[in-house]
Chain A
Amino acid sequence: MGVTAAESTGDPVTQTAFLKKGLADGLPIAVGYMPVAITFGLIAGATGLTAAEAVLMSMLVFAGAAQYMSLSMIAVGAGAFEVVLATFIVNLRHLLMSASISEKAETGTKGQRALYAFGMTDEVFAVASTKKAPLRSFYIIGVAGVAYGSWVGFTAAGFYMGAFLPLVIQESMAIALFALFIALLVPSIRKEGRMVVILAGMGALFHTVLALWLSTGWAIMFATILAVTVYECFEQVMNAGKQDADSGGKSHTEQAEVKKEADSSCR
């Protein structure tokens, strides 16, 4: 982390400057969240949630994909436990993001870290993690804060806009959720290539098959776990095959090194 305690506590003027920089850098996220939050508010209303429930969810959960998913689960009558468990699984990826941020951030106080941890969405992580170390606590708080304000505010706005929309548009809104997931997936395919296609394909396939026996919540969850496990096992087998071919008579340590290289090349 390389920041002394004196630096990290900082004087109020410097901290305010970090906060302002964070708020400014968070603005693109706020703009990007606007349509997503409005759509969330709209669909929440269409799903049968009250305004208070929709806004409370945005205030307490602050996670786009999980909130959308909870709506589609509520819509098909999934149980509360399923929704919570699926939320946990979907958001577990933030564990890695927080871990990665913690290696780049100044130590700060525990309270500061606990505060910006709450706002560690994919987008906040993307903005913060591309900055140079050391990341200032108040900078991350600024980025997360402006994103949070947009998310909660536009959830409420979206909810009330729903009442003014004609029925045919409201019916067509049912596809919004799926269009959103497609819009999130396609750029990942462009960026990461075949891996994303295979994983998403397996997720879709396993969900379709599991949906024959399981309710939507469990089917999505097990499909996800199955997909990442199958992918990992398949990759391990492929790597092992590659090593056998490459490293015929090499010692054990050399093989371990080859394995390591193969591992990192897959990432």
Chain B
Amino acid sequence: MSTEPKTLFEKVWEQHVVVEPKGEPTVLYIDLQLLHEVTSPQAFEGLRLAGRKVRRTDRCIATVDHNVPTTIEGRLHIVDQIAATQIATLRKNCAEFGIELYDVDSREQGIVHVIGPELGITKPGMTIVCGDSHTSTHGAFGALAFGIGTSEVEHVLATQTLPQSTPKTFRISVEGELPKGVTAKDIILAIIGQIGTDGATGCVVEYAGSAIRALSMEGRMTICNMSIEAGARAGLVAVDETTIEYLRGRAGVPAGDDFEEATARWRSFITDDDAVFDQTVTISAADLVPFVTWGTNPAQVVSLDGVVPNPADFADPDVASTTERSLTYMGLTAGTRIKEIPVDVVFIGSCTNSRIEDLRAAAAVARGHRVAASVRALVVPGSHRVKSQAESEGLDQVFLEAGFEWREPGCSMCLGMNPDQLSPGQRSASTSNRNFEGRQGRGGRTHLVSPVVAAATAILGRFATPDEVSS
């Protein structure tokens, strides 16, 4: 091993190289695979057809999140037979291949990217994959975590490795102090808005700088979660005391002397001084404001105090025509003030923003207020553990008294695969990660926002910042 300064990414990568065949991609060892009902059935079927086994059942864990209804009644009797079959198929596959499953009725069930960290299964320095592009969430712990397709899910089940070409490294530093009311979600929306949906293609991004250091693990997860929206393979944050304190006492984390021993190793998962990145960008935290997306890709962001952009303002004809098309789909007129746009639905949830801190922040805004009569508002905790924690703090009552629906854990309205969907033409303020056409239901119009903006918007019935909601 050389003593050259290394990036966090390089350290994790090097420790997982099984073999580097000449002229071929590196065979990279995968410490953990997370599985869910949507992207796994064809992978298990592939194993069956080839007569292959799961190589390491002790490195796989499964749960159901994408399809599951988020009402108790809905979960008892899943009406959508195709969804019910997919869930039953995961159950059957996990039993057949010997993989632990957090089923619909398990107290550990939840969104796959929420339960990994909260159970302490996600740890620094690991390689983690899942058939879901938001796997980058786990990078907040200094783990190399990335989304894969179903063929790769099968590959990891069979070999516990993946052939990988070496990505490029990209450091995004956010320096300084965030203004009041500006959150981790606004940081990542600002980054995507600045570098674009392909700004980090082929790269593993490390988020660094004093504003990232100051964030909680929940905030760091929100940022790493949306790395893919800038095209990145993965997002990372270096290990520090915040990481270690989050992990202390969690189920999957060693206790006592073993914990101290583990932390000594975890602390090495940082980027060395003078390590070189292929690309760097620095953003000033003090310049950030609450953001909202106005269009149909996550780079189309604007300040809450801004206006809907005008296609004519873009010199590039391609950008102008994309803008035009987005505005048509979104049913918006150029020049309209964002804060004058009414919404029909508010969704607080998803692997981006459904953790306890997100719910606390939203509840603090909603407390003592009423959701506008014209708005349907849902709060969907990311997991049963988040839900229980929130209930023990009385957050469910805050939301219910304000007129929000309080739901069972799952992906819910993030992606239109379960009963929680927008109707055609409905407009949402959503704490999720994608505003693509039809993402939350056919014809639905999605605006991405932070949990506090979502809560304020629910109360005022139009896009709003928390300071507009009197306390």
Chains A and B are bound partners:
no
Residues of chain B having any CB pair with chain A under 8 Å? none
Residues of chain A having any CB pair with chain B under 8 Å? none
